[in-house]
Amino acid sequence: MPKIEVPEKLFFELCGRTYTDDEMNDIFPVAKAELDGHGDGTVKIELNDTNRPDLWSVAGVARALRTYESGKIPSYDFFSSRDVTRDCGNRHHYNEESCLGVRDFSISFAAEGCIVTEELLVNLIQSQEKLCQNFGRKRKTIAIGIFRSDLITYPIHYIGADPDKTAFVPLGMTEKLTLREILEKHPKGREYGHIIADKPRYPYLFDDKGETLSFSPIINSAHAGAVEVGDRNLFVDISGPIIDDILLAANILACDMADMGFRILPVRVHLAKDTKYGREITVPYYFQEETQCSLDFVEKELGERLDAQECRAALQRMGVSSDVEDGVITIRCPEYRNDFLHAVDIVEDIMIGHGLARFEPVLPADFTKGQLLPSEEYARKVKTLMVGLGFQEMMYNYLGSRREYVDNMHISDEKVVFIANPMSENYEVVRPSILPSLLESESVSGHAVYPHRIFELGKVCYKDENDNSGTVTRNNLGFLAADNQMTFNDASSYVNTLLYFLRIDYRLESVEDDGRFIPGRAAKVVADGKVIGVYGEVHPQVLESWGCSMPAVMAEFDLDLMH
């Protein structure tokens, strides 16, 4: 979960009051946060909600606490919408067609009237980085640049540039480099270059005098991109492939900067293609849709009847304006949020705004007797047998990356379940097998004395057209053994012993086209006409992908088919 460190003085100023540690512990759950530490003039905060990027800053947390305690919804007068367009003067930002297919959108706004202090600059950069790294998936979907507005001449131009003919001096260097050279020589180029390296043209932002602003999502220019203490006027650019994401990031930053004392100046953005908001948007732009929820649904979910006035008051303390008519609550999402996807999200805000301590505890009406499920009893029996065979139990996460679960295993992604909107590419796949997790442990255990024997009982998930949901979740057993002379015969002895004590009669069938195993040294395990598992010698290419140095055997069984 995101963690931020905020200066105590700035934080309390934005909150409008001073908090003791006990008071912060009590009120931080309102912002879905916890006090992670407090000392030396710094407050450390851990955020517990990945759907609320507006809270990943000192201004965002302070806004949530200030609103909750005052019951007053923050008001910002610089937003445009489909019905309202703010005056932009000469501030225009043009997206040229050459940017399409490279990084489709670049939007911006300006800010003035607040002197940038060291404290403010550090926190502004922290907010920028949290949005780019967490919400923006390490700049893949959101990249933010902050510039010295006094050095910029409008209008702004955003194009797809020739990487070998376009050059400028990047931030942190004195040498003029082409865009392609920046990917090779600049630290940020080496870190983030993979995002656009395969594109025929690279994203490039410059002003009307031809002065470079940035090579998004890599690095700003040294000319206008080096914001310093004492600056008063700033220009903020946000780029990415998804219009809603970059609009939300712009709104969050604009509200944060307004809370810090800046006056926000809208910019008229001319897009290179049609969007659901048209081809011209004045940023910051209010784009969120209304969401509805019935009072009956609130009662059903919370177990307590709250009337219309109580629901409205609770939502107001969360910064959400609402109307209630004919038993239906209609909410207007705050400009800096876009997390109301379902009626239950409204209920959650009502619950927090009403106050968890105000709900009366209720004892269960039904008596139930706790006992282990048959599947759990069977799993414990399997664990006991595996420990008896000399294996050590492991526990792993259920989410991982494509590289771990697909590429390193040399398998197809046909049945793999991908997360539609992952916060990080490290957690974009629901694991289809336990074996990658075991290999990951083996890859970092080369220093340990051999042989290595590890196993896990856990859940896997993969696509299945026969299921109504399109996916199935199964309880599996996976084990791995590694040594300098580990062979198929060793794997067979483990499998035979395990299935003997489980009283399972089985036969073996050959394995065809499974990239995880060496051809001819793997087998399917069939019982009662069903394939209940597979085992064999790990293919050298798989071992090499994981960086494993010793031969290994591995097996995986579907426990749900075994009992």
Domain boundaries, the chain: 3-70, 92-283, 291-357, 374-561
pLDDT of residue 258: 96
User: Which residues is 477 bridged to in the sheet?
Assistant: 457, 557
Query: What pLDDT sits at residue 366?
Result: 84
pLDDT for 1 beyond 80 = no
What is the mean predicted confidence (pLDDT) over 213-218? 95
At 360, the pLDDT band (50, 70, 90 cuts) reads: confident
3-state secondary structure of 466: coil
pLDDT of 241 > 90? The answer is yes
- Tell me the pLDDT band of 51, cut-offs 50, 70 and 90: confident
- CATH class assigned to 3-70: alpha beta
* Fold topology of 374-561: BirA Bifunctional Protein; domain 2 (3.30.930)
Reported as a single tens digit per residue, the pLDDT across 269-287 is: 999 999 999 999 999 999 9
Collect all residues with Cβ–Cβ distance below 8 Å to 474 and sequence separation of at least 6: 459, 460, 461, 558, 559, 560
Tokens of 475: 């309880």
User: In this predicted structure, which of 24-28, 176-180, 317-321, 363-367 has the lowest mean pLDDT?
Assistant: 363-367
Query: Are 92-283 and 374-561 equal in CATH topology?
Result: no
Q: Which of 302, 296, 293, 300 is nearest to 323 (CA)?
A: 293
Q: Look at residue 277 in the predicted model and tell me its pLDDT.
A: 95
pLDDT tens digits along 182-201 = 999 999 999 999 999 999 99
Q: Could you name the CATH architecture of 92-283?
A: 3-Layer(bba) Sandwich (3.50)
Q: Which residue reads 């206008």 in tokens? A: 224
Q: Measured between alpha carbons, how far is 341 from 507 in angstroms, rounded to an integer?
A: 50
For the stretch 528-536, contacts whose Cβ atoms lie closer than 8 Å and that sit 24 or more positions apart, written own/partner, are 530/561, 532/504, 532/506, 532/557, 532/558, 532/561, 532/562, 533/477, 533/495, 533/557, 533/558, 535/491, 535/492, 535/494, 535/495, 536/488, 536/491, 536/511
**Quick one: which of 466, 530, 486, 480 has its CA closest to 504?**
530
**pTM exceeds 0.75:** no
If you average pLDDT over every residue of the chain, what do you get?
A: 94
Half-sphere exposure of 39 (CA within 13 A, CB side): 2
Q: Regarding the domain delimited by 291-357, which CATH topology (the fold level of the hierarchy) does it fall under?
A: Phenylalanyl-tRNA Synthetase; Chain B, domain 1 (3.30.56)
Output the pLDDT for position 416: 93
How high is the pLDDT of residue 395?
A: 94
